[in-house]
Amino acid sequence: MDFEDSNKIPLEQHLTNLSSRPRIEILKRLQDQLVPVEYRELQKAIRKFSNEKKNLSYHINVLKDANYIIQDQKGYLITPLGHRVVKELRNFEEGLSDRSKIKVRTSKYTLELFDESIIEKKIIEESNLNLRDAKKVANEAKKRIRKANITYLTAPLIREFVNAILIEFHLEDTRHKLTRLGLPPYDIKQLINSQEYENPTIFETKLGNAILEQNTLLNKINQKFADNLLTGQFLLTDLKNFGISPLELVISGRNFIEILNNFYNNSLEEQNTKEEPFSLPYIEFSYYFEQSLSLFSHFFPQGLTIIRFDEFLEKFLIYYTELDLKHLFSKVFVKLTKNWKIKLGISLIANFNDINPLLEIYNKSLSYTIKNWSQLPVLEVNFPKNKIKEILNCPHYSKLNSQHKNILSLLLKHQVNINQFSKWGVKNGEHIFTNLGIPLHFELLNEIKPSLIIEKISINLLSVFNESSNNETLFFSNLEKGIFSIFDYFDNKFKLLSKTLLKFPGWQNLSELLFNNDLIFQNWKDTQNYHSVYPLICGISLFGLDELIFLQTGLFVKDQPKNREFAVKVLDYIFSLIQKQNSVLSENIKFVLCESHLQSELLRKNDLFLEMLDDQGIDFQPSTHPGYRFGFNSSSKFLNFHHLSQIYSDLGKSKFKELSLNIPLEGNTFDGDYDKILEFCQNIIKTSISRISFSNNYELPNKKGSKVVYKRYYSNYYPKRGL
């Protein structure tokens, strides 16, 4: 029968042809098939009609005679007429069924009638799936939803149906793009009941972060890297912001003055003005100071580092008093650092030698205004030896002058880091560790440009070791593969930032202040064709080097000189890979080897270490654990300075010079003995350690052994000025 003749078939004949339910099922089975369906597959289609199986050939012949289906050597196909018949059948079924009026609670908070064409449209819009497959998935979803007879249909539930169908149709990549992100109601309830969150705003932030993290794992990075993160082979510093923003900003004190001036002038009604906010009364100045810094916090979630902040302090103290400076730290900085990190670099290489105003602040003279001392900005002070020779050579504390006593007091503060990198021969330059512990060196002080810390990725040496079957050659081979994978992941982040960051209007405003209208990622091609003058820094850190050596030898790095030789070998190997990669990059893109920093993920990833110990039958006592900071900046409770000096002397043979030490101090560490304090600091300064910090605040005792009590200078000062 020709297709043209089919239009002449009486309606009664069509109804007769479709009077058997098995024939309808056969047509529906063939409807979505582009290739012939075999006879046995059609048997499965009518298996629920057990008494009709023996009549399958008869039903097929009826459909063939009606020109609904055709047969070739491979099987059966539906004809155009068959498609039209099935479509009309479905319309007829839906018209007679109340289920055709299913209502959907949409994500736009509206109630609409169910329409499978919307499913088809959303699949194509969100995943770029081809039209044929999108129709196929949408039709299958419609069939299952109607069959389920759901009384309360929501948009998320429809997505669950669609995602299940996508998996069955082997469209897993499409499923990732259509997955709805969020937390189950039970998890949200548990978060509320945990009482960990001080207020609803913090709770909302937690939920938002969880969604962004899920989005990163599903849609921002490839599946292999996502698996590597989930298994602990690599660790991202900030998973939620991986495809959205850089991590840190590094500027100089001079940069900050320029930024502050630009921000102030942009806020004035008169255009093209060149005024400075330093001419304003202090209260107005502090407003512009706070607002300009607040801009950075939105795009640099891991904080701000201001190198040579003394350049700003020198200018500030020309216009304002030390009392104003105390207010700037105790009120403005503390407000900013509640949810953000700020590090200030102070250089004693420069002419800024009067640290008394800072001592007044960091020696708890304002303890009644600052409840949490971790809210103060971290102060990183550059202490070249020639500036503190008197401390090094002084036999007794009583022989020190007042300035050196003040310096000694500053050394012991929790929020103060001692930067001694200048001992490695750095001249006419500045060196600083950022909030994430990434070491940066600037050779030409007058040409320091704002620098962006793009990301910091840690490689888990325990995971590399576990895959190397205790074979050192294989270990270094796997380590090389891991490092080169990290290079690829950084390249992935650069590409993501070029697509997303420029879509935020605030980035354009910030670029005007920071980068002279250079949008940085606007014309991004690759890491070899980056032509901006503003440096992009990528941190790579090691995770578990100390534990790796323990697994090999049963002793930590500090326990055996030979172990330190292997540590140097690992450091130098990674350092050389990074240097080689830097040689082929654009001038202002740099990979930097750095130590790990303390973060909650490290605690969870340490489970791998404990599991590996258990597998090897090693009896591991908690007291031997070096701490959760898996570089050489582990908290060290041993104060054997000869041993300490030897350890860092051995490790100092590595090309990696940025070694850190964090020491916990308690109130009874020195029993109030000034000379013990002096000897302690002398020994610390003599070690080959680049950065030193302390876990707790330590107050210098007075002669009676109690803490020094400072006069509260301005308890009633600022209330009179209206603050």
**Can you tell me which residue has the tokens 């209502």?**
103
Dihedral of alpha carbons 299, 300, 303, 308, sign: negative
Q: What gap in Å lies between CA 133 and CA 124, rounded to an integer? A: 9
Res. 592: pLDDT tops 90: yes
Check if CATH label 1.50.10.20 holds for domain 3-96.
no
pLDDT top residue among 624 and 440: 440
Dihedral of alpha carbons 198, 200, 205, 207, sign: positive
Question: Do 178 and 159 touch, CB atoms closer than 8 A?
Answer: yes
Of the chain, the end-to-end C-alpha distance in Å amounts to: 94
**Ramachandran sector of residue 109 (left: φ over 0; alpha: ψ -120 to 50; beta: rest):** left
Tokens of 663: 């020491």
pLDDT top residue among 254 and 53: 254
**Per-residue pLDDT band at 697 (split at 50, 70, 90):** low
How many percent of the chain have pLDDT more than 70? 76
User: Where does residue 351 rank: exposed (0-12), middle (13-18), buried (19+ CB within 10 A)?
Assistant: exposed
Res. 711: pLDDT tops 60: no
User: 356-411: per-residue pLDDT in tens?
Assistant: 677 777 765 444 444 555 677 888 877 666 666 777 788 888 888 877 777 777 77
Q: What gap in Å lies between CA 578 and CA 434, rounded to an integer? A: 19
Cβ neighbours of residue 121 closer than 8 Å, sequence gap 6 or more: none
What pLDDT was estimated at residue 145? 85
User: 188-207: per-residue pLDDT in tens?
Assistant: 777 777 777 676 777 777 77
User: Where does residue 176 rank: exposed (0-12), middle (13-18), buried (19+ CB within 10 A)?
Assistant: middle
| Alpha-carbon radius of gyration of the chain | 34
Q: Where are the chain's structural domains? A: 3-96, 100-180, 248-384+420-435, 460-631
Q: What gap in Å lies between CA 41 and CA 58, rounded to an integer? A: 16
DSSP state of 331: I
What's the mean pLDDT in 309-334? Answer: 87
pLDDT top residue among 617 and 261: 261
Q: What gap in Å lies between CA 16 and CA 10, rounded to an integer? A: 10
Q: What gap in Å lies between CA 376 and CA 416, rounded to an integer? A: 10
Res. 721: pLDDT tops 70: no
Q: What gap in Å lies between CA 608 and CA 612, rounded to an integer? A: 6
Of 250, 296, 253, the C-alpha closest to 536 is 250
How high does pLDDT run on average in the chain?
77
> pTM for the full model?
0.73
Res. 158: pLDDT tops 60: yes
What's the mean pLDDT in 530-537? Answer: 88
β-bridge partners, 305: 250, 343
**Per-residue pLDDT band at 111 (split at 50, 70, 90):** confident
Which residue type does 683 have? N
pLDDT top residue among 721 and 443: 443
Q: What gap in Å lies between CA 211 and CA 205, rounded to an integer? A: 10
